[in-house]
C-alpha cells in the first residue's frame, strides 16, 4: 500500500483523546451479567518450594557415597553461574555447581509457551557503566555488544535495546506516555519531581573524598565518604520528609521505584539505597543513553542461557545442599539428590555459597557470627498472562514495554513480545509483578502461601480490570510464580551491617557470592559477587601451589 498520504479528519492524538470520553462504555460491558465466565486456566509454577522446604524438616537420608572435589558451588542463580564462569575462564575445572531447582537461573529463569518466551522474575539489564569491564567483556563475548565506536563506547545490538514506547502510566483515567508521565502532572508535582530528579542526577558525576564515585554499580565500589554514607542512617521516607517533599505524586513515584527494585516500601528502604537506584546508572554507549535498558522476551533468562553456555558440563540440578561443615581442613557438603532420593557427601577443598542468607542460615552447620535476621526478603508474585489480542491493551498510549497503573498496588506489567516485529501476531504474553511489603516479610509470606490458583486468578484479574475492563475476555492462560523470598531489601543501616563484612571476607576456604550480601538484588551485583568469590578461590589455589 502506498503511504498515508492524506489524513482525513483527525490525527491519532485527537482521535484518541476523544475516545477517552468513551471510557465508561467498556465498564458497562464489564458489568454485563451475561458475559461468559473466564475460559482460561491459572497454574502455579516456579521454584520448587516443596524441595526447598525439605530444609526446614531436615530429614535427609544418610549419605551412601563420598566424592572428592576441589570446589563446590552451592546455588545456580546468576552469582553461582558467574562464579563458575570465572573459574572456567581461568582454567580451573575441578568444580561442580549444584542447584536445588529443576532449572538453573534463580530469579533469572524463564518459561515458554506457543506465543512467546517470558521471564519468571528479572526482566532487564540497564545499559552498564562502561568501567564495569568484566560485565562489558561478558556482553561482548556473547555479541550483546557488537563492537565499539570511535570514542571507544560500546555499541549494543539494536534489537536488544528496549524499543520505544518504553513506559506508560495509567494516571487520572488514561494511559500517559512515560514514567513519570510527560504530561498530566500539575505545576506543583512537576516542580517537585524535577527538583528530586535533578538532585539525584547531580550525584551521577560526584566523586567522594576517597576518590570513588558517590554511587556506582557494583555498589561495593561506591564512595564511603560520610557525605553519602549518612544517607544510610535514615529511610528514604524520612529523607523525603526532611527535605520537604510533599506532593503525593513524588512520594508515589519514589515508593514505586523502591518496591520495583528492592521489593520494599519507602518506609523500609535505606535512603542510600534509593539514591543508589536513581544516581548509579550512568552507563554510556555509542548507540544508547544511560536511561536505556536491554530487554529480551525471556528477560534475564537470556543472560542465564549465555552464562550456562560457558559452564554447561559443571551444572547439576535437583541437588539440594542441606549441610556444610568443616572437618580436618576440608569442607563436607551434604547434598540430597532429589531424583535418586539419596544423599552424597562432597569432600571439598573450597566452597562457594551462592545461596541467599535465608538458606545459608539452615545449612551452615557452624557458628558464623552472622545475624541472619538482618537480611529481609519480601514475597512477590510474578504472573505470566497470555493475551489473545494485544491491541486491546492499547489506549491513549500504545502498549509499552513497561505498563504501570498509578492506582494499583501492583508494579504493573511488562510486554514480553515488545522486542519483536511480529505485527502480524495478535497475541502476546504480559508479565505481571506484585510485591507484598506492607507488613513484615514473615507475615506477608505466611499470608501468600495459603492461597490457591483461584485466589490468584481473581486477585490478578480484579487488579487489571481497573485499567483493562475487558481483561477477562482477553486472557488465555495465567502462570503464577510465587516467590516467598522475592529479593533482598536494603533496609536502613544495611551498608554498615557487620554481617555483610563477615560475608565479604568469608571463612577459611568458604566464600559467599549471593547478591543479597550487597544488599540489592540486581543482575550486575550477582554477576560481580560471583566473580569476587571465584577470585577468592583462585587466590587461595595460587597460594597453595606456590
Partner 1 sequence: MSLIKKKKNQLLLLVSVFVIATCGLIYELIAGTLASYLLGDSVTQFSTIIGIYLFSMGIGSYLSKFIKVNLLSWFIQIEILVGVVGGVSSTILFIAFEHASGFHVILYSLIILTGTLVGLEIPLLMRILKDEFDFSELVSKVFTFDYIGALFASILFPLFMVPYMGLLKTSYFFGLLNIVVAIVLCFTFESAIKYLRFLRIQAFIATLLLLIGFVFAEQIQTYTESMSFNENIIFSKSSPYQRIILTSDKGVTKLYLNNNLQFSSADEYRYHEALVHPGLSRISNPKNILILGGGDGLAVREVLKYPTVDSITLVDLDSSVTALFKHSELLQALNNHSLTNPKLHVINTDAFSWLKQNHRIFDFIIIDFPDPSNFSVGKLYTTSFYKEIKKALSPTGAFVVQSTSPFVARKSFWCVNNTMQSVGFKTLAYHLYVPSFGEWGYVMGFYNLSPTPYFLPDKLKYYDESRYAEMTSFPKDMACVPTEINKLNNQILIHYFEDEWGKVQ
Q: How far is the CB of 129 from partner 1 (least distance, A)?
A: 18
31 binds partner 1 (CB under 8 A): no
Among 292, 342, 477, 504, the residue binding partner 1 under the rule CB under 8 A is 292
Residues 6 or more apart whose CB falls under 8 angstroms from that of 64 comprise 342, 343, 344
Site for partner 1 in 402-421 (CB under 8 A): 420-421
Q: How far is the CB of 77 from partner 1 (least distance, A)?
A: 29
Calpha distance 115→441 (Å, rounded): 35
Q: How far is the CB of 167 from partner 1 (least distance, A)?
A: 12
Retrieve residue 95's grid coordinates: 568444580
Site for partner 1 in 484-503 (CB under 8 A): none
36 binds partner 1 (CB under 8 A): no
CA distances from 144 to 45, 137, 420 (A): 30, 10, 16
Q: How far is the CB of 399 from partner 1 (least distance, A)?
A: 9
Q: How far is the CB of 36 from partner 1 (least distance, A)?
A: 14
Q: How far is the CB of 477 from partner 1 (least distance, A)?
A: 21
Calpha distance 360→433 (Å, rounded): 27
**Interface region with partner 1, contact rule CB under 8 A, candidates 5-13, 42-50, 221-229, 298-306:** 5-13
Nearer to partner 1, 86 or 413 (CB): 413
The residue ranges of DSSP E strands in 46-178, in sequence order, are 65-74, 95-98, 110-112, 117-119, 124-126, 145-148, 154-156, 167-171, 174-177
Among 21, 36, 39, 151, the residue binding partner 1 under the rule CB under 8 A is 21
Retrieve residue 197's grid coordinates: 530528579
Among 77, 111, 154, 165, the residue binding partner 1 under the rule CB under 8 A is 165
369 binds partner 1 (CB under 8 A): no
Retrieve residue 179's grid coordinates: 514514567
Applying CB under 8 A, the site for partner 1 has a residue count of: 41
Retrieve residue 365's grid coordinates: 552447620
426 binds partner 1 (CB under 8 A): yes
Retrieve residue 470's grid coordinates: 475487558
**Interface region with partner 1, contact rule CB under 8 A, candidates 23-31, 46-54, 87-95, 485-493:** 23-31
454 binds partner 1 (CB under 8 A): no
Q: What are phi and psi of 121, to 5 degrees?
A: -155, -90
Q: How far is the CB of 24 from partner 1 (least distance, A)?
A: 9
- CB distance 406 to 169 below 8 Å: yes
Q: Computed over its alpha carbons, how large is the radius of gyration of the chain?
A: 24
Among 4, 187, 226, 543, the residue binding partner 1 under the rule CB under 8 A is 4
Nearer to partner 1, 8 or 341 (CB): 8
Nearer to partner 1, 78 or 399 (CB): 399
In the numeric block, the cell 577468592 is attached to: 536
386 binds partner 1 (CB under 8 A): no
- CB distance 379 to 482 below 8 Å: yes
Among 164, 243, 373, 443, the residue binding partner 1 under the rule CB under 8 A is 164
Site for partner 1 in 122-161 (CB under 8 A): 158-159, 161
287 binds partner 1 (CB under 8 A): yes
Nearer to partner 1, 25 or 207 (CB): 25
Nearer to partner 1, 302 or 375 (CB): 302
The residue ranges of DSSP E strands in 296-445, in sequence order, are 315-316, 319-327, 330-337, 342-353, 377-387, 402-405, 412-415, 428-435
Give yes or no for a cis peptide into 319 (omega within 30° of 0).
no
Q: How far is the CB of 473 from partner 1 (least distance, A)?
A: 11
Stretch (H or E) spanning 533:
helix 523-545
Nearer to partner 1, 95 or 175 (CB): 175
Calpha distance 119→78 (Å, rounded): 14
Q: How far is the CB of 417 from partner 1 (least distance, A)?
A: 12
Retrieve residue 116's grid coordinates: 512467546
Site for partner 1 in 217-246 (CB under 8 A): none
The DSSP-derived string for 33-68 is TTSPPP--EEEEESS-HHHHHHHHHT--PPPSEEEE
- CB distance 84 to 76 below 8 Å: no
Among 50, 58, 114, 166, the residue binding partner 1 under the rule CB under 8 A is 166
Q: Which residues contribute to the site for partner 1 (CB under 8 A)?
A: 1-14, 17-19, 21-22, 25, 28-29, 158-159, 161-166, 287-288, 292, 398, 420-426
Amino acid at each position: 500500500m502506498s503511504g498515508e498520504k492524506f489524513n482525513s479528519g483527525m490525527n491519532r492524538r485527537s482521535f484518541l483523546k476523544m475516545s477517552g470520553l468513551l471510557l465508561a462504555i467498556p465498564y458497562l460491558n464489564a458489568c454485563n451479567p451475561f458475559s461468559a465466565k473466564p475460559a482460561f486456566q491459572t497454574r502455579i509454577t516456579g521454584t520448587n518450594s516443596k524441595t526447598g522446604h525439605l530444609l526446614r524438616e531436615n530429614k535427609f537420608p544418610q549419605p551412601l557415597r563420598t566424592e572428592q572435589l576441589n570446589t563446590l558451588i552451592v546455588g545456580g542463580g546468576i552469582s553461582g553461574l558467574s562464579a563458575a564462569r570465572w573459574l572456567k575462564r581461568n582454567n580451573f575445572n575441578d568444580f561442580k555447581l549444584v542447584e536445588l531447582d529443576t532449572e538453573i537461573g534463580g530469579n533469572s529463569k524463564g518459561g515458554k509457551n506457543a506465543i512467546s518466551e517470558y521471564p519468571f522474575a528479572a526482566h532487564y539489564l540497564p545499559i552498564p557503566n562502561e568501567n564495569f569491564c568484566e560485565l562489558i567483556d561478558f556482553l561482548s563475548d556473547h555479541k550483546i555488544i557488537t563492537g565499539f565506536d570511535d570514542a571507544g563506547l560500546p555499541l549494543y545490538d539494536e534489537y536488544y535495546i528496549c524499543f520505544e514506547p518504553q513506559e506508560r502510566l495509567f494516571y487520572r483515567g488514561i494511559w500517559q506516555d512515560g514514567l513519570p508521565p510527560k504530561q498530566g502532572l500539575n505545576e506543583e508535582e512537576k516542580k517537585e519531581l524535577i527538583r528530586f530528579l535533578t538532585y539525584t542526577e547531580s550525584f551521577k558525576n560526584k566523586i567522594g573524598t576517597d576518590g570513588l564515585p558517590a554511587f556506582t554499580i557494583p555498589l561495593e565500589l561506591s564512595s564511603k565518604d560520610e557525605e553519602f554514607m549518612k544517607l544510610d542512617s535514615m529511610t528514604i521516607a524520612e529523607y523525603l520528609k526532611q527535605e520537604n517533599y510533599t506532593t503525593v505524586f513524588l512520594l508515589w513515584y519514589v515508593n514505586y521505584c523502591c518496591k520495583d527494585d528492592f521489593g520494599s516500601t519507602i518506609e523500609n528502604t535505606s535512603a542510600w539505597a534509593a539514591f543508589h537506584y536513581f544516581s548509579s546508572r550512568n552507563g554510556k554507549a555509542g548507540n544508547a543513553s544511560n536511561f536505556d535498558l536491554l530487554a529480551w522476551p525471556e528477560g534475564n533468562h537470556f543472560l542465564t542461557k549465555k552464562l550456562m553456555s560457558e559452564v554447561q558440563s559443571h551444572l547439576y540440578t535437583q541437588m539440594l545442599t542441606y549441610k556444610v561443615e568443616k572437618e580436618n581442613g576440608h569442607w563436607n557438603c551434604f547434598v540430597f539428590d532429589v531424583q535418586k532420593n539419596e544423599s552424597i557427601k562432597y569432600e571439598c577443598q573450597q566452597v562457594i555459597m551462592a545461596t541467599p542468607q535465608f538458606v545459608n542460615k539452615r545449612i551452615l552447620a557452624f557458628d558464623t557470627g552472622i545475624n541472619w535476621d538482618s537480611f529481609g526478603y519480601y514475597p512477590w508474585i510474578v504472573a505470566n498472562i497470555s493475551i489473545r489480542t494485544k491491541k486491546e491493551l492499547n489506549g491513549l498510549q500504545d502498549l509499552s514495554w513497561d505498563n504501570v497503573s498509578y492506582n494499583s498496588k501492583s508494579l504493573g506489567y511488562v510486554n514480553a513480545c515488545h522486542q519483536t516485529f511480529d505485527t502480524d501476531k495478535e497475541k502476546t504474553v504480559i508479565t505481571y509483578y506484585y510485591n507484598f511489603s506492607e507488613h513484615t516479610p514473615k507475615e506477608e509470606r505466611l499470608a501468600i502461601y495459603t492461597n490457591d490458583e483461584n485466589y490468584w486468578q481473581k486477585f490478578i484479574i480484579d487488579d487489571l480490570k481497573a485499567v483493562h475492563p475487558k481483561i477477562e475476555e482477553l486472557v488465555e492462560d495465567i502462570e503464577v510464580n510465587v516467590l516467598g523470598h522475592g529479593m533482598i531489601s536494603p533496609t536502613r543501616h544495611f551498608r554498615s551491617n557487620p554481617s555483610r563484612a563477615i560475608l565479604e571476607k568469608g571463612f577459611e576456604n568458604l566464600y559467599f557470592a549471593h547478591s543479597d550480601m550487597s544488599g540489592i538484588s540486581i543482575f550486575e551485583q550477582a554477576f560481580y559477587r560471583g566473580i569476587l568469590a571465584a577470585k577468592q578461590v583462585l587466590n587461595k589455589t595460587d597460594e597453595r601451589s606456590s
